Structure 1
Amino acid sequence: MSEIRRSVCALDCPDCCSLLVTLENGRATKLRGNPAHPVTRGFLCGKVAQYLEREYSPGRLLYPRRRAGPKGEGRFERISWDEAFDTIARRLKSVAQEFGSEAILPYSYAGTMGLLNGSGMDRRFFHRLGASRLDRTICSAAGGAGLTEALGLRYGTEPEQFRHSRLILAWGANILGTNVHLWPFVMEARRNGARLYTIDPYRNRTGAASDKHFFINPGSDTALALAMMHVILGEGLHDADYVARHTEGIDALRERVRDWTPQRAAGLTGLQAEEIVSLAREYATTRPAAIRLNYGTQRSERGAMAVRTIALLPALTGSWKDVGGGLQLSVSQAFQLNRAGLERADLQQQALGRAARLVNMSELGGALTRMVGPPVKALVVYNSNPAAIAPNQNAVLEGFRRDDLFTVVLEQFQNDTADYADILLPVTTFLEHTDLYYAYGHYYLQLARPALPPPGEARSNVDIFRQLAARMGFDDPCFRDSEDDMIRTLLDSPHPFVRGITLEELDRCGSVRLRLPEPFLPFAEGGFGTDNGKCHFHAETLDYTPPVESRHGDTDLRRKYPLELISPKNDDSMNSTFGHRDAVDLQTAILHLNAADAAGLGIRTSDQVRVSNGRGSCVLMARVDDTVRAGVVAAPSVRWGKRSPGKRNVNALTSERLTDAGGGATFYSCLVQVERIGD
Structure 2
Amino acid sequence: MERRMSVATHWGSFVAVVDSGRLVRIEPRDDDPAPSPIGPGMVVAADDSARVLRPAVRRGWLNGEPRTHGAARGTDAFVEVSWDHAITLVSDELRRVRSQHGDSAVFGGSYGWASAGRFHNAQGQLQRFLALGGGYTDSRNTYSTAALEVILPHVIGGHPWSYQSRMPMWGAIAEHCELVVAFGGLALKNSQINPGGLAKHQTRDLQRRCREAGVEFVNISPIRSDTADFLDAEWLPVVPNTDTAAMLGIAHTMLVNGWHDEDFLRRCCVGFDRFAAYLVGELDGVRKDAAWAAGITGISREAITDLARRLTDRRSLIVVNYAVQRADHGEQPIWMSVVLAAMAGSMGRPGCGWGTGYATMDATGVAEGRASVATIPAVPNPVPDFIPVARIADTLLHPGEVIDYDGKRLTLPELRLVYWCGGNPFHHHQDLHRLSRAWQAPDTVVVHEAWWNTTAKFADIVLPVATGLERDDFAAGFSDPHLVAMPKVREPAGESRTDHRIFAALAARLGFEREFTESRSESDWVRHLYEQTRAALGGDAALPGFDDFWRNSTAELPALTGPFHGSFEALRADPRRSPLSTPSGRIEIFSEEIDSFGYDDCAGHPRWYEPAEWLHAGLSDRFPLHLISNQPASRLHSQYDNGGHSLASKIRGREPVTIHPSVAAARGIESGMVVRVYNDRGSCLAGAVLSDDVMPGVVQLATGAWWDPVRPGLSGTLDRHGNPNALTADRPCSRLSQGPSALSALVEIEPYDGPLPEVLAFAPPSLEPPS
1:393 shift after superposition: 0.7
| Contact 1:161/1:323 (<8 A) preserved | yes
Q: Letter of the 2:10 partner, please give it.
A: A
Q: Letter of the 2:634 partner, please give it.
A: D
Residues 113 and 242 from structure 1, CA distance in 2 versus in 1: closer, same or farther, beyond 3 angstroms? Answer: farther
Residues 4 and 601 from structure 1, CA distance in 2 versus in 1: closer, same or farther, beyond 3 angstroms? Answer: closer
CA distance in 1, matches of 2:318, 2:488: 37
CA distance in 1, matches of 2:492, 2:507: 24
1:150-229 alignment, distance < 5 Å: 150-152=155-157, 153-155=162-164, 156-164=167-175, 165-180=177-192, 181=201, 182-204=203-225, 206=227, 210-229=232-251
Question: Does residue 1:142 correspond to 2:147, yes or no?
Answer: yes
Structure-1 residue corresponding to 2:422: 383
SS at match of 2:163: coil
SS at match of 1:575: coil
Q: 2:737 aligns with which of 662, 667, 675?
A: 662
| Contact 1:337/1:492 (<8 A) preserved | no
CA distance in 1, matches of 2:142, 2:564: 32
Q: 1:583 aligns with which of 635, 648, 654?
A: 648
1:676 shift after superposition: 3.8
Q: 2:299 aligns with which of 271, 276, 281?
A: 271
| Contact 2:141/2:388 (<8 A) preserved | yes
CA distance in 2, matches of 1:219, 1:300: 7
Structure-2 residue corresponding to 1:280: 308
SS at match of 1:301: coil
Q: Letter of the 1:54 partner, please give it.
A: A
The C-alpha deviation readout for 1:233-277, integer Å capped at 9, x for no partner, is 444444555545543444444444333211111111111111112
The C-alpha deviation readout for 1:447-506, integer Å capped at 9, x for no partner, is 544342442333332333333223222367354275348847995999x999x9779588
1:148 shift after superposition: 3.1
| Contact 1:120/1:343 (<8 A) preserved | yes
Residues 147 and 157 from structure 1, CA distance in 2 versus in 1: closer, same or farther, beyond 3 angstroms? Answer: farther
Q: How many residues align?
A: 656
Structure-1 residue corresponding to 2:765: none
Q: 1:538 aligns with which of 590, 593, 605?
A: 590
Residues 568 and 24 from structure 1, CA distance in 2 versus in 1: closer, same or farther, beyond 3 angstroms? Answer: same
Q: 2:501 aligns with which of 455, 460, 463?
A: 463
Of 372-381 and 519-528, more deviation after overlay is shown by 519-528
Structure-1 residue corresponding to 2:727: 653
CA distance in 2, matches of 1:481, 1:275: 65
The C-alpha deviation readout for 1:30-76, integer Å capped at 9, x for no partner, is 6455566xxxx443112224334334545433332333576424744
| Contact 1:444/1:512 (<8 A) preserved | yes
CA distance in 2, matches of 1:549, 1:339: 44
Of 655-664 and 20-29, more deviation after overlay is shown by 20-29
The C-alpha deviation readout for 1:523-548, integer Å capped at 9, x for no partner, is 32225443565323227512111211
Structure-1 residue corresponding to 2:557: 512
CA distance in 2, matches of 1:89, 1:149: 42
Of 82-91 and 520-529, more deviation after overlay is shown by 520-529
1:179-578 alignment, distance < 5 Å: 179-180=191-192, 181=201, 182-204=203-225, 206=227, 210-239=232-261, 242-258=264-280, 259-287=287-315, 289-316=316-343, 317-323=345-351, 326-329=354-357, 342-345=377-380, 347-348=381-382, 354-355=383-384, 357-371=385-399, 375-401=414-440, 405-435=443-473, 439-440=477-478, 442-444=479-481, 446=483, 448-456=485-493, 457-474=495-512, 477-480=515-518, 482=520, 483-484=525-526, 487=529, 510-517=555-562, 522-526=567-571, 527=578, 528-531=580-583, 533-538=585-590, 540-553=604-617, 555=618, 557-578=619-640
| Contact 1:394/1:616 (<8 A) preserved | yes
- Could you tell me the TM-score, scaled by structure 2's length? 0.75
Percent identity of equivalent pairs: 23
The C-alpha deviation readout for 1:389-448, integer Å capped at 9, x for no partner, is 32121122224456x6322221121111111222222223233445565545x4536354
CA distance in 2, matches of 1:27, 1:339: 32
SS at match of 2:693: coil
CA distance in 2, matches of 1:642, 1:220: 32
Q: 1:66 aligns with which of 57, 61, 77?
A: 57
CA distance in 2, matches of 1:624, 1:613: 21
CA distance in 1, matches of 2:339, 2:471: 41
| Contact 2:275/2:590 (<8 A) preserved | yes
CA distance in 2, matches of 1:172, 1:426: 39
Looking at secondary structure, tell me which structure has more helix per residue: 1
1:175 shift after superposition: 2.4
CA distance in 1, matches of 2:116, 2:141: 13
| Contact 2:370/2:557 (<8 A) preserved | no
Q: 1:44 aligns with which of 4, 23, 35?
A: 35
Structure-1 residue corresponding to 2:89: 87
| Contact 1:602/1:676 (<8 A) preserved | yes
CA distance in 2, matches of 1:68, 1:639: 27
SS at match of 2:454: coil
1:219 shift after superposition: 1.1
CA distance in 1, matches of 2:538, 2:187: 27
Residues 423 and 304 from structure 1, CA distance in 2 versus in 1: closer, same or farther, beyond 3 angstroms? Answer: same
| Contact 1:573/1:584 (<8 A) preserved | no
Structure-1 residue corresponding to 2:598: none
CA distance in 2, matches of 1:400, 1:415: 15
CA distance in 2, matches of 1:313, 1:115: 39
CA distance in 1, matches of 2:275, 2:297: 21
| Contact 2:91/2:506 (<8 A) preserved | yes
The C-alpha deviation readout for 1:357-397, integer Å capped at 9, x for no partner, is 32334233333344358643322222222224321211222
Structure-2 residue corresponding to 1:14: none
CA distance in 2, matches of 1:591, 1:394: 21
Residues 197 and 643 from structure 1, CA distance in 2 versus in 1: closer, same or farther, beyond 3 angstroms? Answer: farther
1:636 shift after superposition: 2.0
1:616 shift after superposition: 2.0
Q: Letter of the 1:546 partner, please give it.
A: E
Q: Which runs of 5+ in 2 are unaligned?
A: 61-71, 193-200, 281-286, 401-411, 572-577, 592-603, 711-716, 755-771
| Contact 1:365/1:393 (<8 A) preserved | no
Q: Letter of the 1:583 partner, please give it.
A: A
The C-alpha deviation readout for 1:140-163, integer Å capped at 9, x for no partner, is 211222333332232233344454
Of 47-56 and 513-522, more deviation after overlay is shown by 513-522
Structure-2 residue corresponding to 1:104: 106
| Contact 1:198/1:207 (<8 A) preserved | no
Q: Letter of the 2:730 partner, please give it.
A: E
Q: Letter of the 2:243 partner, please give it.
A: D
1:511 shift after superposition: 4.0
Q: Letter of the 1:396 partner, please give it.
A: L
SS at match of 2:211: helix
| Contact 1:34/1:43 (<8 A) preserved | no
CA distance in 2, matches of 1:253, 1:299: 24
Q: Letter of the 1:397 partner, please give it.
A: S
CA distance in 2, matches of 1:50, 1:365: 33
| Contact 1:142/1:662 (<8 A) preserved | yes
CA distance in 2, matches of 1:503, 1:217: 53
Q: Which runs of 5+ in 1 are unaligned?
A: 12-16, 349-353
The C-alpha deviation readout for 1:173-213, integer Å capped at 9, x for no partner, is 44221115412111122223222322212233636664211
Structure-1 residue corresponding to 2:757: none
| Contact 1:610/1:677 (<8 A) preserved | yes
Q: Letter of the 2:462 partner, please give it.
A: L
Q: Letter of the 1:409 partner, please give it.
A: V
